[in-house]
Each structure stands twice: as structure tokens, then as C-alpha cells.
Amino acid sequence: MIQYIIRRLIGLFFVLIGIALLTFTLMHLAPGGPFSTERTLPPETVARITASYGLDKPLPLQFLTYIWNISHGDFGISYRQQIGAEVSNIIFTGFHNSLQLGLFAFAFTIFFGILLGILAAIGQNTWVDYSTMGVSLAGYSIPNFVLGTLLLIVAALVVNPHLPANFQIPIGGWIDNAGIGAIFLPTFVLALRPTSVLARLTRASMLEVIRQDYIRTAWAKGLGERVVIIRHALRNALLPVVTVLGDEMGNLITGSIVVEQVFVINGLGKQFVLSVQQLDYNIIMGTTIFYAFIVVLINLAVDILYAFIDPRISYTKART
């Protein structure tokens, strides 16, 4: 097991290098640079600025320097935001909000996704099943930015039906400036799609497990419904569910970009879109690597978790 984790971590390192290289190449393919402005600056000024940031060096050297720096925890400084703003600070401030949003949404997803899936499976072909699956198909199909935008106005009208023309959305922003009430809508909107996916998957998986012999045995032994469903059926039904958790968690992280835009949350996603438009090299690189790092870590965690839940899986044996 430990050997497997080490091997994965080494692979993970190369994946991250690959992602950095890819982003770096793409970024420098883009026309212009962080210092292209509407005004034409005198060429000496441009040369001086680029030289002071080391952007005049050959690209491979720039890349290696960058990798060397981030391996020492130095993500460089932003070229476009306040002078000398550290990218690591920008990332962590933005990520503070994104992470909260992501974690709330993830908790929501796991709880409601699995709960609804179980309920639908137990009541297969009853109204519980149909309504749950109907809602989940809707949740899967309605884009979160459409739903979020519409919920915003509904919520605004509920909170205050006589809004002035230049109203400020009372549920915009995140906890820090809008209070705890600000978490409900963004969390719900962000979590709806993964919750639907999870509910459908849990239902399908439960249905398959429920028909197996050992469940019939459990019923026949006269065990209570709770014991049969939770202790016997659910444990096995959750196996395929765990495999998608990693992907869904990754989707939550990237999906939050849109939700942050809708609910005016100052998160990392918003920051990223801005920096791409401004070609703020260091922020683009830093954010991409940071997100990728989280995604690969989550995937690794899911794979390890999988081995713990399913004793049939062993990573120590040579894989065929």
C-alpha cells in the first residue's frame, strides 16, 4: 500500500510538471503580454519592465526558474494587481472563499445525494422514486448559472418585495461580508448537479445490491429495515459511488467559477478569469497548478479510500 502511494505521488509530480509546462506554453503563445496597454509605451520602458521581471530571458529558462521557485514555495508576484502583490497571497485569499463554498457543497452533495438515492431505491416505482428521479434529472439539466440567476431575483423579492431600483442583492457576497445567510443559495446551486448525479448513481447501485442473495438472507433472518439497508446493502452499494466522488469534487472546484460569478463571491475562480484576460502570467500559472494539485490529490485520496472500503482491491499486487 505504502509502495503504491509513493509510486502514485511520483507520478503525480510528473503530471503537475506536465500541466505547468502546458499552461506555460499556451500562455506564452497568446498574443500580447501582461504589459500590453492601450497606450504605446516607449520601447525603453517596455524593455526595462520586462527585464526587471525577468521576462526577457529565453522561455525554457523562464520555465525552469519558475519551477525552481515554486518548489521553494515562491509563486512570484502579480504583474497587474497592486504592485508586488504575492501570488500565493492572492491564491490563498481567493481560495479561502472557494474552499468554504466547495466544502459546503460537497457536504450537501454527499448527504442529500446518497439519502435521495437510498429513498428512491427503497421506494422503487413509487411516487418517491419518480419525484426524486424527476428532480434529479432537472437538477442535472438546468445549468447552474441559469438557476442561480433566477433564484437570486426570487430570493431578493422574498427578502424585500419593495426593492429600490438600484437594489443590492442581499444574498450576494460570501460569509465574510454578507453573513451566514449567504451560504444557502450558492451552496444549493453549486451542489445541485453533483447531488443529482450521486442520487441517480446511488439508486442504481442500491437496486442492484438489494436483489442479491445475501440481502434476501438478511431479510429472511428477520433483521430490521435499518440494519439491512444501511449495514448490509449500503456498504456495498457505495462502492461505485465512491469512484465518482473524486470527479465530482473536481467538478465542484471548477464549477464554483460560475457560481462565484453569479453570486458575486470573491473567490479564486473570479480571480482566475480576470488574470487570464489580463495575461497575468504568474497568477494563471499559480492558480492552474494549485487547482491541479488539489484535483490529483483528491483522486489519489479516492483511490486509497476505495481500497479501504473494498477489501477485494489491493494495490500491492502487481496490476495486470
Interacting residues with another protein (CB under 8 A):
11, 14-16, 18-19, 22-23, 26-27, 29-31, 137-138, 140-143, 145-146, 149-150, 152-153, 156, 163, 165, 167, 204, 207, 250-251, 253-255, 257-258, 261-262, 272-273, 276-277, 279, 284, 287-288, 291-292, 295-296, 299
Q: What is the closest distance, in whole angstroms, from the C-beta atom of residue 254 to another protein in the complex?
A: 4
Q: What is the closest distance, in whole angstroms, from the C-beta atom of residue 227 to another protein in the complex?
A: 26
Phi, psi dihedrals of residue 86, rounded to the nearest 5°:
-75, 135
Nearer to another protein, 204 or 223 (CB): 204
Nearer to another protein, 100 or 136 (CB): 136
10 Å CB burial of residue 275 (0-12, 13-18, 19+) is: buried
Nearer to another protein, 62 or 261 (CB): 261
Q: What is the closest distance, in whole angstroms, from the C-beta atom of residue 12 to another protein in the complex?
A: 8
Give 7-43 as a DSSP string.
HHHHHHHHHHHHHHHHHHHHHHHSSS-TT--SSPPPH
Nearer to another protein, 68 or 167 (CB): 167
Q: What is the closest distance, in whole angstroms, from the C-beta atom of residue 299 to another protein in the complex?
A: 7
DSSP symbol at 77:
B
Nearer to another protein, 123 or 250 (CB): 250
Q: Cell 466547495 identifies what position?
A: 102
Torsion of CA 37, 42, 47, 52, to 10 degrees: -70
Q: What is the closest distance, in whole angstroms, from the C-beta atom of residue 50 to another protein in the complex?
A: 19
Nearer to another protein, 164 or 222 (CB): 164
Grid cell of 68 as nine digits: 525552481
Q: What is the closest distance, in whole angstroms, from the C-beta atom of residue 223 to another protein in the complex?
A: 26
Neighbours of 132 (CB within 10 A): 23
Q: What is the closest distance, in whole angstroms, from the C-beta atom of residue 2 to another protein in the complex?
A: 21
Grid cell of 127 as nine digits: 411516487
Nearer to another protein, 242 or 276 (CB): 276
d(CA 297, CA 4): 14
10 Å CB burial of residue 37 (0-12, 13-18, 19+) is: exposed
For residues 89-99, one letter each, b for 16 or more C-beta atoms within 10 angstroms of the residue's C-beta and e for the rest, the string is: ebbeebbbbbb
Integer CA distances (angstroms), 131 to 116, 117, 281, in order: 10, 11, 48
